[in-house]
Chains A and B, each alone.
Chain A
Amino acid sequence: LAKTTQPISMDSYEGQEVNITCSHNNIATNDYITWYQQFPSQGPRFIIQGYKTKVTNEVASLFIPADRKSSTLSLPRVSLSDTAVYYCLVGRSNTGKLIFGQGTTLQVKP
């Protein structure tokens, strides 16, 4: 599975849009990109998943360029409760397993 690289930390303020970019240069043709959120003392929680172009759900948007070597998680109008660690992962459908990278610690300030 492709290794992912993302910023270690980011700061933002309430109400702002936050974009976290992840690089996965060695992504294979059949791999998908998925993002998870983790709060302290909790297990990770699935946010969004995509294969190409743009995916949007009630929580976030995921932008994937045509070459798929990177992806950007967009969180609209963050609040203090969005302070968490965000993980970008590349997965393969036939294995199910996911390898977690270092993650991005997002700190939302008032």
Chain B
Amino acid sequence: SAVISQKPSRDICQRGTSLTIQCQVDSQVTMMFWYRQQPGQSLTLIATANQGSEATYESGFVIDKFPISRPNLTFSTLTVSNMSPEDSSIYLCSALAGTGLPGELFFGEGSRLTVL
């Protein structure tokens, strides 16, 4: 299993600013992903965080808006750049341990962002 910690758990931000969310896993994992979940909605995959290389983004998400880093096997960051109220959402980090089933993702508790 893997325990995922995200910081901050919540924040209120001003329009036009940027915020970086940190994701720390308590063990080395093979893959890490970032999702977004708007209130009352399902999760949307933003990107796969690749260790030591550029993230792989899903359709509709771009690096300039959501730069992602993954410097090692246990840590990743997601930055939400030049925020607007439409970016208000919960951002979730997830990881695939590699020792369990291929579909067994572990999720953090999420970072709830409110943009004013």
Contacts and interface: CB of A to CB of B under 8 A. Distances in A.
Interface of A: 32, 34, 36, 41-46, 49, 87, 89, 91, 93, 96-103
A41 B92 CA distance: 11
Contacts of A103: 42
A96 B45 contact: no
B44 A100 contact: yes
Interface of B: 4, 30-31, 33, 35, 42-45, 48, 92, 94, 96, 101-110
Given A43-B110, A46-B104, A101-B42, 17 more contacts: A32-B101, A32-B102, A32-B103, A34-B103, A41-B109, A42-B110, A44-B105, A44-B107, A46-B103, A96-B30, A96-B96, A96-B102, A98-B45, A100-B35, A100-B43, A102-B42, A103-B42
A44 B43 contact: yes
Interface centre among A34, A87, A96 (most CB of B within 10 A): A96
B21 to A, nearest CB: 13
B13 to A, nearest CB: 19
B102 to A, nearest CB: 4
